[in-house]
Homo-oligomer: A and B are copies of this chain.
Amino acid sequence: MSTVQPSKTKDEVVRDFRTSGILDAANEVIAEQGWKDVSMERIAQVAGLSKGTLYLYFKNKESLLQRVFEHALVELETSTTQATQETTVFESRVRAIVATAMEHATKNHALIEILRADPTLIHLAPVQRDLDRYLNSVSKTIAQGTRGTAFRRINARRSARHLLALVRGSLSDGLRESRSQQRQEIDDVVHFFFHGISAGDNS
């Protein structure tokens, strides 16, 4: 009964397993050396495979890396959407955005590279597209939250960029911090997003 209508064949499962193993390895190597210094040899090594095997699953290096970035962004967007829907309070939603991004980035170095906004990376067309979608979704949340409120009339897209800039800034330094420090960092970013350095209510 458990195997009624298997949506994937065994082969597909194996294939997916390998594919994501390679993507994970690539992500790890990106963490080690930055995406520009990634070599197929090293990815294979980390994945516990041989160079040639990578080419059974990916057409070439470029498409492998593209998939790493795509995967990271899609996961981020999915998690973010889900997290923001758990509340209707604007500030909580922003908090969800920040927390989700930070959590994902902690595990997923490819994401940091994207958020770093290296033009030579971002201009890979598909990454461009996926990043855009993510930015749109963040923008929309901000637009909804600020509409008809006391918040200053603000360009939602630009605010989204500011928000992500703050997240990215925190990531640059704070990656190796503890969990409680990370929460602190999130609070700080959210608060800063709402009030800047001026004395807001929760000072």
Q: CA–CA, A191 to B151, complex, Å?
A: 13
The segment from A2-10, A30-38, A42-50, A67-75 that touches chain B is A30-38
Interface of chain A residues 161 through 203 with chain B (CB within 8 A): 161-162, 164-166, 168-170, 172-173, 188-189, 191-200, 203
The segment from A15-23, A53-61, A95-103, A113-121 that touches chain B is A113-121
Whether A152 contacts B34 by the Cβ 8 Å rule is no
Q: CA–CA, A20 to B150, complex, Å?
A: 52
Q: With contacts A194-B196, A196-B193, A198-B195 known, is A118 near B116, CB below 8 A?
A: yes
Q: With contacts A161-B173, A168-B169 known, is A152 near B198, CB below 8 A?
A: yes
Contacts of A152 in B (CB 8 A): 195, 197-200, 203
Q: CA–CA, A3 to B158, complex, Å?
A: 54
Q: CA–CA, A3 to B182, complex, Å?
A: 60
| Cβ contact of A119, chosen from B34, B161, B168, B203, cutoff 8 A | B34
Q: Within 8 Å of chain B (Cβ to Cβ): is A159?
A: yes
Q: With contacts A146-B197, A153-B203, A197-B152 known, is A166 near B162, CB below 8 A?
A: yes
Whether A196 contacts B192 by the Cβ 8 Å rule is yes
Contacts of A120 in B (CB 8 A): 33-34, 36-37
Contacts of A146 in B (CB 8 A): 197
Q: Which residues of A contact B (CB under 8 A)?
A: 33-34, 36-37, 116-120, 142, 146, 150-154, 158-159, 161-162, 164-166, 168-170, 172-173, 188-189, 191-200, 203
Closest 9 CB pairs of A and B: A165-B169, A36-B36, A196-B196, A34-B120, A117-B172, A152-B199, A195-B196, A152-B203, A194-B196
